[in-house]
Every structure is written in C-alpha cells, then in structure tokens.
Amino acid sequence: MIASISGRVEEKELEKVIIETNGIGYLVSITTKDYDELEVGKNTKLYIFENIREDSYDLYGFVYKSTKSLFNQLISVKNVGPKVALSILSLGSDQEIKNAIAGGDVKFLVTAKGVGKRAAEQVVVELRDKVGLVATDEAENVLTRRGININDEALLGLMSLGYSQSDASTVLSKVDINLPVDERIKEALKG
C-alpha cells in the first residue's frame, strides 16, 4: 500500500501531476487547490489514496494530510466515489468544505463537477456531525426536510429511475410500506 510519494513534479496535466521518484513516474489525480500549489521541477510530498479496481489502478494525492482525511470522510458517504470527492475538495479550502457540510450548504456542494442535489444532501446528512464543526439549523433542515427519508430504498430506487423526489414520494404513499423494497418499487411503477 502506498501511503505517500516524495519526488519531483515532472508534468502537470489537467487536475493530474506526474511525480517522478527513483526513475518511476506516478500519475496522481489532485485537487484544483493542490494543482495550483505544485510547480514543475520542484520536489514535493503527496499523501496518497490508492483506488484499485478490476479495470483500473488510480492514485489520488494531497499536499496536506488533513485534506486526505476529509477525502476519506467524503468517500465513506454512500454513492460518493473518489472522483466526486476530489471534485468537492476542489471547491475550496478544507475549512470552506467543512463549513458547507456543517452548514447544510447544498447549493455550494452541487457546484462541484458530478455532484447532484441528492449526493450533496447525502454528504450533509452523513457528515454534518463528523467534520469537527457544530451543525447549523440548515443542516438539520436537510436531514428532516419533509419527504426525505435516507433509509427508504424504494424512494431512492425510484429517484435513480428518473422520478423526482416528490413524484416518488407520491406514488409510494399509495403502496403498502410493509412490502419488500423490490415489490414496493414494482407497485409504484404500476400506479
């Protein structure tokens, strides 16, 4: 497991850098903030997150350990992968991101590339008490907003099929809540 890479910045591409160390060049995805901070030809150290999948092996790097920690919190959120987390971290400083999460600032979070309203709400719901700040009333409103039930898999399933939250809630209100999730979705689609 790679925890960090120290070496010279050989090249900078869009939101990626090549760090050369001992004759090996590592392609590392980074935040916009870190991209602006790194200079070609200068030595640096990046804290690394490895994302190993069946068809890819990607490295995500961070100049600061605190940014990597926030990244790890973001990828712990349901349906938030490394690319989305990196996109959120590119919105600003660690403190700005934490303030947005604790403050329930969904509008700010959806400005990140690839982040929809639902994902932004999920980030607020799951991390608002974990970012080290006091959650605001707005964050509480996201959690308790009428119609949002983060545990209703049938609602989430219908929304993934293209239903709006209100339409999905409406059709599910006519279906027996005690049915299994797949049956609730089938019945909702019939109605």
What integer pLDDT is reported at residue 147 of this predicted model? 43
Global pTM?
0.69
51 lies in the same domain as 23? yes
54 lies in the same domain as 17? yes
Calpha distance 188→157 (Å, rounded) = 11
Calpha distance 171→109 (Å, rounded) = 29
Residue 191 or 66, more confident: 66
The total of structural domains in the chain comes to: 3
Band (pLDDT 50/70/90 cuts) for residue 151 is low
H or E element, residue 77: none
3 lies in the same domain as 75? no
Band (pLDDT 50/70/90 cuts) for residue 90 is very high
55 lies in the same domain as 10? yes
Residue 146 above 80 pLDDT? no
Residue 162 or 7, more confident: 7
38 lies in the same domain as 22? yes
What integer pLDDT is reported at residue 143 of this predicted model? 47
46 lies in the same domain as 102? no
CATH number of the domain enclosing 109: 1.10.150.20
CATH number of the domain enclosing 29: 2.40.50.140
21 lies in the same domain as 42? yes
Q: Determine contact, residues 28/17, Cβ cutoff 8 Å.
A: yes
Parent domain of 24: 1-63
Domain boundary among 42, 63, 84: 63
Band (pLDDT 50/70/90 cuts) for residue 88 is very high
What mean pLDDT comes out for the span 29-34?
Answer: 94
